[in-house]
Every structure is written in structure tokens, then in C-alpha cells.
Amino acid sequence: QVPVVESGGGLVQAGGSLRLSCTAAGLILDDYGMGWFRQAPGKEREIVSCLSRSGGRSYTASVKGRFSISKDSAKNTMYLQMDSLKFEDTAIYYCAINSRSPWDCAMSTADYSYWGQGTQVTVSS
């Protein structure tokens, strides 16, 4: 199992910002597609954003214009910059790695092979 590790979650007031980070020991992230998902209490896990191996990006409608996915190849780290946070962004956020179709910006959990344990993001209203 590949150790995928997220960090950067926390408690923030509405309107604030957080930056999540994701690393994966033993993998060169440039070789894979990647994604961020989130799961709120009582809800299913949903896609937040994806990043294909070629650099293609996509965002779920509710975060467009507020969140930004990126990757630093030198640090082998993926990021999710979250600005203008809203109460409804509260969830556990998961980093995932797509080894099955890395050239795609995959939007389904089924497309991802490796998952982190998640990092809690709590936005107070």
C-alpha cells in the first residue's frame, strides 16, 4: 500500500483560507493523475478537484473560483488552495492518486488507486 499523506487541515472562520498538501512516499507524482475529494458527515465522498498527468484541471461547481489545485514537482507535493471558505466546505478532505488513467482528470472515486487517511477542515460560520 502506498502511504499517501495529507496535511494542512484545521479550523478556520468563514471567508478564511487553508492550503492542503499531499505527498506519497515512493511515488513520483508527475507520473500520475491526482485528485482531492471530501466527505461531510452523513454524505457520500465527492470530488473537489482533479489534476491530470498532463496538467488538466477540473473543479466541482461549488468550489470553482475559490479553490485551486496545483503541484510542485520539485517537492513531489500536490496542493489544494482553498480561499473564501464557507461553512458548507466543512468535511474530511482526502488526497487520491490515479494510476489507472493518469492522463485523465478523473472525477470518480473508482478511478483512484491510492488514498490518504484524510485531513479535517472545519469552517465556522
How confident is the model over 39-59, as pLDDT tens digits? 999 999 999 999 999 999 999
Strands (E), 40-113: 46-51, 57-59, 67-72, 77-82, 91-98
pLDDT for residue 117:
96
| Whether pLDDT at 98 is above 90 | yes
| Whether pLDDT at 2 is above 90 | no
Q: Give the residue-averaged pLDDT of 23-52.
A: 96
For residues 48 and 67, is the Cβ–Cβ distance under 8 A? Answer: yes
For the chain, the average pLDDT equals: 96
CA dihedral 60, 20, 123, 57 (to 10 degrees): -10
Q: Give the residue-averaged pLDDT of 8-13.
A: 98
pLDDT for residue 1:
75
pLDDT for residue 24:
94
- C-alpha grid cell for residue 64? 470553482
Helix (H, G, I), strand (E, B) or coil at 69: strand
pLDDT for residue 17:
98
